[in-house]
Amino acid sequence: MSLLRIASMIVVLTLVGRLLGFFRSIYLSSLYGTGMESDAFNIAATIPLTLFLVVPGAVNAILIPTMRGLMEKQQRTTELYHKMLTVILVIFVVLAGMGVGFSRELAAMFGLSGAKLEMTADMLRWMWPSAIFIGLTGLWSSICNSHQHFFTPTLGTVANGAVVIVSMYVLVPIYGPNGLVIATTLGYLAAMLTMIPTLRRFGYDHRLSFAWKNDEALKGMGERVIPILIGAVVAQATTFLERGFAEGVGTGVISALANANQIVQMPMAIFVGAFTLPLFPLLASHVKRGEMKEMKQILQKGLAYLLILLIPVTVGLALYAEPIVRLAFQRGAFDEYSVALTAWALPFYGLGLYFLAARDLLTRAFYALENTRTPVVIGAIGIGVYAAANWLLIPWMGHGGIALANALSALSQAVLLFIWLWKAVGVPVQSGFLKTLAKTLIACLVMGAAIVLADPWLSLLPLWIYLPLGIVAAALLYLAVLAILREPLVSELLQKVRRRSTPAAGRS
């Protein structure tokens, strides 16, 4: 299956999953707006969400190169799976137990007190069992990806979103705010269970094995796992720092930032997941075979696709921030004040979109090279940039400064990773990438100018017509400009679409 076809499948499934997650946020906002309950839930959800972002990626990074190496040598992988299953279960059962026991202390670390502290701690107790499901999800998705199978793990996001929404509607009227976290935990369970039939099809049974001694593959992974975990945690550390900075700005800011971030994470998850997931096994395979030229070609193609897809999204988020927030969230308890809070943060989050995506893909390149220390060092630098930027910007911009600090941190990390990768393997991209960059910026300039010029007339329409119409027209104009400029990636995409539609036309 081609990279573009795999990416398209992942895009569709991730879009459905993210839309379901978005509906969950809309439901939460309609119930509690940017009030205390919403803040408490967003804080309590931070830990499992961070684990969900960290654990699958970390397991992916250590397991896939090892699995691909065993497969290249035509060696059995089931024994390694049994050992990894045991390690994951031991670690995450202990982690979940400790989390339940220290939930109040963890909630207090966010600077909470009084009723908000007690509510958040209670939510955390319900949320911690999801750590076990997340650990197994990370392991099982990595096994599937090692076999070049991406459908079932991505389908898990759809199952997660569907179960969460249904469970919230059923449980919130019974358990109140705690129904939100119970539903979230059930969603992580659903994401895990979707992969069991696929693992059985690949010949994996679920047995425990403590035969860890003298296992070279396990030893090699053990040497890499600590730096990778530290790097993954460092990459997500800004989420915890953000909650602390936001709590100091005022009530409702945590929820406003979470809502704005939810909007930004939709294109981030759709497009970044679509390319980093299928690219990483390819990068690892080329490195294992010593094919560095092919490895860099794949990396450049991934970076170029992300550029074409995400830069126009950044422009759109900046120009359509308020109508996007209004259409998405303004109902129930989500009033004008909540709209203003969320819309102020959205454009600044959007500025970091491409740099976050590039950071993640470049980090995968280092993992494919089995260099796990460099991303850790650069991640630590990124935290320093984030903290310093918050200190400078919050007095001037309020919570908008928190969102902008996130973008500046991502920019610094992406630039440093690119420079260090250049030193390690030579120039990671060729002149074609710079041409794509120039064409993308020209197309975005034309698109942005058209949005500004057409907005006085389009904004007279009802919001539910005005916003989708403006977005679709802007996207079509953007693609048309790229096609006129003869951008190869857009031409490739159009040719593939044309080839797939021609047989259907002939049959009709």
CA-wise closest residue to 230 among 364, 372, 110? 372
pLDDT at 51: 78
- pLDDT digit string (tens) for 270-314? 777 666 667 777 887 888 888 899 999 999 999 999 999 999 999
The pLDDT value given to residue 505 = 43
Per the structure block, which two tokens stand in for 293?
């030229």
Coil, strand or helix: which one is 451? helix
Q: What is the identity of the amino acid at 437?
A: L
Compute the average pLDDT of residues 235-255.
83
pLDDT at 231 over 90: no
Lowest mean pLDDT among 265-269, 364-368, 390-394, 499-503: 499-503
Alpha carbon distance 280, 92 (integer Å): 25
In the predicted structure, residue 359 carries a pLDDT above the cut 90: yes
pLDDT digits (tens, 9 = 90+) for 137-175: 999 999 998 888 888 998 998 999 999 999 999 999 999
| Average pLDDT of span 335-344 | 94
Residue type for 53, please? L
Mention every residue, 6+ apart, whose C-beta is less than 8 A from residue 507: none
How far apart are the C-alpha atoms of 202 and 81, rounded to whole Å?
Answer: 12
Give the largest Cα separation in the chain, rounded.
71
